[in-house]
Each structure stands twice: as structure tokens, then as C-alpha cells.
């Protein structure tokens, strides 16, 4: 049964970092352990972490990405993309094992459809993959849940070295006939591309993909502009807001209070550059 948000959102959990690793040039993986009770969570949901640095406390949202849903719900994992000069990036990428965070949640409507869709389309760019990992693990664990469901993941990355969870997704693809994977490389294809590797963006060919707006469902996660572009195509295919759930990885509006004046033009330049790169060049999410 789904956790009732109103019952649990006020609880502040504490957790400490117990493991981390670099999983791509721009992405880190983190594993935390709750200092107390288990953390309620349904695959697809996110928590708000409160971090603390020399300028005080600040909050950032992160999707839980763990694929082990059985051994203990006192652990959670995050995959985090580096944002240059980002406050949480700085905190997380420099954190020592044992570092403590506070967190509240779970939040989010990006959940597996109930009842299952005939075809479930998952679209993500880069770390937008995070909420889909526990969902895929849940589908794999419960064969009845996928009885009538075909799941197609369209994942957008810049280059082969940014294809995170490659081994996990490839193994899932070979083991589960209900799972289909297409990866879109916006800047550079692998040296030996597979038939499910494509150059370009996750929107490529989406207007031709066999989809039924009545029976099928779509979940979109990651770069806000990608989410809008994909949603626009799905709308033109007859999908409505009830059959498409969108989670945009919008960044926090707050910046370092004491640096707002001095860095605002740099921040704007960074943002402009990201938007320009998305709009004209590689349309990925980081």
C-alpha cells in the first residue's frame, strides 16, 4: 500500500554516508544509512536533504535510486550529477564517510502506474534515470506486476562514458523480455554501436513509436526542457496529463546568500550556456 504523505512528511530523518563512488566523469553514487528508523519510500519518490556548510543549512531534492529493495529500508542510494559551483555538489562530492544529513520525505507522484499500463514508457536524461532504477527493480521482483506491461526506457546521455548503470540495464534487457532499452547519445556514439544505441536526443523517433494513449502510460524525468519537449510530442499523440507523469529536476532557486551579488552574472552565464547547449546542441540534462 502507498505511504500516506501527510502522515510521514513531517518526520525528519538523520542518515550518514557509508559508501560512495565515481560512476561517470560527471556523476557520483552515494549510499547512506538511516541513523534511526527505516525510511518510507515507494520506487520513484524523492527526499529533501538538508545539508549544512559554512554558510548555513540548505535543502536539495534527490530521488532514491537503490535497486535492492529487500535487504533493508534503512539504506538509500543517490546518483548525483555535478553542477559546477553547486552548493550541494560541493558538499556531496567532498563528503567524508560518516558525514551526516537530515532528510524529509518521501515526496513525488512519479510512481509505477496502478493498474499497470499496457506499455510503460520511461524517458530520462542522465541522472533522471535515478527514480526509474527502483521501479525497474520492483517490476523485476514481482512478475504479476508486469503481466500486461511492456516497459520501454529511453535514456539520453552525452557520450558512452556517461552511460550510467550500463551493465545493470543491459543485464535487465537480456534477462527480461518485458524490458526494452534505447539509449540516445547526444555527442558521441559508442565505437561499436548496438542496434539500440542511437545518436541524438531522447525525442528522436518518438513521434513514430507505437503508443496507445488510452492503454499506455509515460513517466518523464530529468532536464526540464527535455521533459517539456517529450510531453509536447506525447500530447500531439493524444496523451493527456493523466497518462503522463512529469518530474523536472529544476534546480533550487536559492544560491549562496553571501555570493548572490558577486556571482549572479556567472550563474546567469552558466544557466544561459546550459539552455543554449540544450536548445541548439546536445540536449541532455546535466
Ligand X SMILES: Cc1cc2nc3c(=O)[nH]c(=O)nc-3n(C[C@H](O)[C@H](O)[C@H](O)COP(=O)(O)OP(=O)(O)OC[C@H]3O[C@@H](n4cnc5c(N)ncnc54)[C@H](O)[C@@H]3O)c2cc1C
- The nearest distance, CB 45 to ligand X, in angstroms, is 9
Kindly tell me which of 44 and 116 has the beta carbon lying closer to ligand X. 44
- Number of Cβ within 10 Å of residue 226's Cβ equals 26
- The nearest distance, CB 194 to ligand X, in angstroms, is 26
Nearest position to ligand X, beta carbon:
86
Question: Residue numbers of the site for ligand X (CB under 6 A)?
Answer: 46, 60-63, 78-81, 83, 85-89, 127, 130, 247, 249-252, 255, 267, 270-271, 274
If you search the block for the grid coordinates 518485458, which residue do you land on? 178
- Phi and psi (nearest 5°) for 263? -110, 0
Calpha distance 194→206 (Å, rounded): 19
- The nearest distance, CB 173 to ligand X, in angstroms, is 22
- The nearest distance, CB 200 to ligand X, in angstroms, is 20
- The nearest distance, CB 205 to ligand X, in angstroms, is 26
Kindly tell me which of 211 and 220 has the beta carbon lying closer to ligand X. 220
Polymer length of the chain: 286
Q: What does R_g of the chain's alpha carbons equal in angstroms?
A: 19
Contacts of 222 (CB under 8 A, 6+ apart): 123, 124, 125, 126, 127, 128, 129, 156, 248, 249, 285
- Phi and psi (nearest 5°) for 54? -65, -20
Kindly tell me which of 146 and 227 has the beta carbon lying closer to ligand X. 227
Kindly tell me which of 56 and 193 has the beta carbon lying closer to ligand X. 56
Kindly tell me which of 29 and 178 has the beta carbon lying closer to ligand X. 29
Amino acid at each position: 500500500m502507498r505511504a500516506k504523505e501527510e502522515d510521514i512528511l513531517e518526520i525528519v530523518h538523520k542518515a550518514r554516508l557509508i559508501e560512495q563512488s565515481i560512476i561517470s566523469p560527471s556523476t557520483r553514487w552515494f549510499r547512506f544509512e538511516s541513523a534511526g528508523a527505516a525510511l518510507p519510500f515507494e520506487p520513484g519518490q524523492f527526499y529533501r536533504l538538508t545539508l549544512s556548510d559554512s554558510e548555513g543549512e540548505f535543502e536539495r531534492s534527490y530521488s532514491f535510486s537503490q535497486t535492492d529493495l529487500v535487504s533493508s529500508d534503512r539504506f538509500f542510494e543517490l546518483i548525483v550529477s555535478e553542477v559546477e559551483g553547486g552548493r550541494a555538489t560541493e558538499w556531496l562530492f567532498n563528503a567524508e564517510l560518516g558525514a551526516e544529513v537530515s532528510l524529509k520525505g518521501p515526496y513525488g507522484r512519479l510512481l509505477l502506474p496502478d493498474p499497470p499500463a499496457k506499455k510503460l514508457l520511461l524517458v530520462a536524461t542522465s541522472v533522471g534515470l535515478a527514480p526509474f532504477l527502483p521501479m525497474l527493480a520492483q517490476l523485476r521482483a514481482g512478475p504479476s506486476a508486469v503481466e500486461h506491461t511492456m516497459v520501454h526506457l529511453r535514456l539520453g546521455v552525452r557520450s558512452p562514458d556517461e552511460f550510467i548503470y550500463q551493465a545493470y540495464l543491459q543485464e535487465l534487457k537480456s534477462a527480461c523480455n518485458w524490458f526494452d532499452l534505447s539509449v540516445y547519445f547526444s555527442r558521441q556514439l559508442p565505437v561499436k554501436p548496438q542496434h539500440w544505441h542511437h545518436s541524438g536526443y531522447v525525442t528522436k523517433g518518438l513521434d513514430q513509436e507505437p503508443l496507445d494513449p488510452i492503454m499506455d502510460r509515460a513517466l518523464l524525468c530529468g532536464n526540464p526542457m527535455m521533459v517539456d519537449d517529450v510531453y509536447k510530442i506525447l500530447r500531439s499523440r493524444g496523451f493527456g496529463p493523466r497518462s503522463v507523469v512529469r518530474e523536472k529536476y529544476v534546480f533550487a532557486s536559492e544560491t549562496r546568500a553571501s555570493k548572490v551579488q558577486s556571482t549572479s552574472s556567472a550563474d546567469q552565464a552558466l544557466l544561459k550556456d546550459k539552455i543554449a547547449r540544450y536548445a541548439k546542441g546536445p540536449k541532455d540534462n546535466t
